[in-house]
């Protein structure tokens, strides 16, 4: 039986601490602002954006919310982002992904200066992470590191396996674990002996977007299992990439879905926005 890593509780604690820091910052230097840009009508994105704006309010960060239509042109999107780049009131810019197909995502994201890139997506911030230098770190993997720290799990010298190689989660996760002195393997859809590799992990982080993909036979007894997935099971119920009910019997620590990594992602966005404002 494993210990549940309670992301919801840690997120609440961190938001409480942030509220105080933001309030002090406001008294000394003024308001902290986050621009949240939603383009199009993707239902999941609408929910994420709403939650991000709500979370800003909770900690006293001013949010500037923009919604461009699904058929918006590249020029319209560039005009908006260009304005936000120049705005003194905006310390962080978040462009919710995915974008409608007619837009050049790379070009739009490249307009955001590294200092305002609170998602930690730009090449300079990713490069700094790779070189273990001060940077802004992508919210989800950063949240995972905070969870490990909170539960006294030190990756140093441990075997860490990251399942998934996305730019948003898998790759930055692997770099963070490497920077924390773990021995890191990144697995993906072409990996051979996937089961064996996963079963070698002291720390297993799963971010592939496939419901209950990681079964108990893929997990070492006593492993720490972090589930970044947000999927639906065969009954339409929210679940993760890990077969939680069975894996929890083998893991020493495990994150639930919901209530695990999810609440930490938005918290780290708030944290990154505070950091961006502090460094200006
Ligand atoms: N879409 C899915 N995850 C994210 C995220 O962390 N940031 C942004 N901007 N878009 C996303």
Spacing, Cα 132 to ligand 1 middle (Å): 23
One of 6, 117, 119, 227 is an active-site residue; which one?
Answer: 119
The residue ranges of every structural domain in the chain are 30-113, 139-262
Element spanning 16, H or E? helix 7-29
Q: Which of 156, 158, 163 is nearest to 179 (CA)?
A: 156
Residue 102 is a catalytic residue: no
Spacing, Cα 138 to ligand 1 middle (Å): 9
**How many Cα neighbours within 13 Å face the side chain of 16?**
6
Residue 96 is a catalytic residue: yes
30-113 against 139-262: fold identical: yes
Cα separation, 115 vs 1, in Å, equals 43
What phi and psi, each to the nearest 5 degrees, are found at residue 274? -60, -45
DSSP state of 100: P
Pocket-forming residues, ligand 1, beta carbon under 6 Å: 94-97, 119, 139, 168
Give the per-residue pLDDT at 205: 99
Q: Which of 245, 251, 211, 253 is nearest to 228 (CA)?
A: 211
Q: Whose CA is nearest to atom 9 of ligand 1?
A: 96
Cα separation, 45 vs 194, in Å, equals 31
Give the tokens for residue 100: 């409608």
Give the tens place of pLDDT for each residue, 69-98: 999 999 999 999 999 999 999 999 999 999
Cα separation, 129 vs 235, in Å, equals 39
Closest ligand 1 atom to the C-alpha of 269?
6
Give the tens place of pLDDT for each residue, 171-182: 999 999 999 999
CATH fold of 30-113, please? Answer: Rossmann fold (3.40.50)
Give the tens place of pLDDT for each residue, 143-175: 999 999 999 999 999 999 999 999 999 999 999
DSSP β-bridge partners for residue 225 = 204, 254
- The top-level CATH class assigned to 139-262 is alpha beta
Q: Is pLDDT of 63 > 90?
A: yes
Write down the pTM of the prediction. 0.96
- Length of the chain equals 280
Give the tokens for residue 67: 């919604």
Mean pLDDT of the chain: 98
Q: Tell which one of 35, 45, 48, 173 to mutate to probe ligand 1, the residue whose CB is within 8 A of the most ligand atoms.
A: 48
Give the tens place of pLDDT for each residue, 181-240: 999 999 999 999 999 999 999 999 999 999 999 999 999 999 999 999 999 999 999 999
């Amino acid at each position: 039986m494993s210990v549940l890593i309670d992301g919801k509780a840690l997120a609440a604690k961190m938001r409480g601490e942030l509220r105080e820091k933001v309030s002090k910052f406001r008294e000394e230097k003024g308001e902290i602002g986050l621009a949240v840009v939603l383009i199009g009508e993707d239902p999941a994105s609408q929910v994420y954006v709403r939650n991000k704006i709500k979370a800003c309010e909770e900690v006293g960060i001013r949010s500037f919310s923009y919604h461009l239509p699904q058929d918006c042109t590249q020029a319209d999107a560039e005009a908006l982002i260009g304005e936000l780049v120049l705005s003194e009131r905006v310390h962080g810019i978040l462009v919710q992904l995915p974008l409608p197909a007619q837009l050049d995502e790379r070009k739009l994201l490249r307009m955001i200066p590294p200092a305002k890139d609170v998602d930690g997506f730009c090449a300079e911030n990713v490069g700094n992470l790779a070189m273990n230098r001060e940077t802004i770190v992508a919210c989800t993997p950063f949240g995972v590191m905070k969870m490990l720290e909170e539960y006294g799990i030190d990756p140093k010298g441990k075997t860490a396996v990251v399942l998934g190689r996305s730019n948003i989660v898998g790759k930055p996760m692997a770099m963070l674990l490497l920077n924390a002195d773990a021995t890191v393997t990144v697995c993906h859809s072409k990996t051979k002996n996937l089961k064996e590799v996963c079963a070698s992990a002291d720390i297993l982080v799963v971010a592939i977007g496939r419901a209950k993909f990681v079964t108990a036979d893929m997990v070492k007894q006593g492993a720490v299992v972090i589930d970044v997935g947000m999927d639906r099971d065969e009954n339409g119920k929210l679940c993760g990439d890990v077969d939680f009910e069975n894996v929890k019997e083998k893991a020493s620590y495990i994150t639930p879905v919901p209530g695990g990594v999810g609440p930490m992602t938005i918290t780290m966005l708030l944290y990154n926005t505070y950091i961006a404002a502090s460094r200006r």
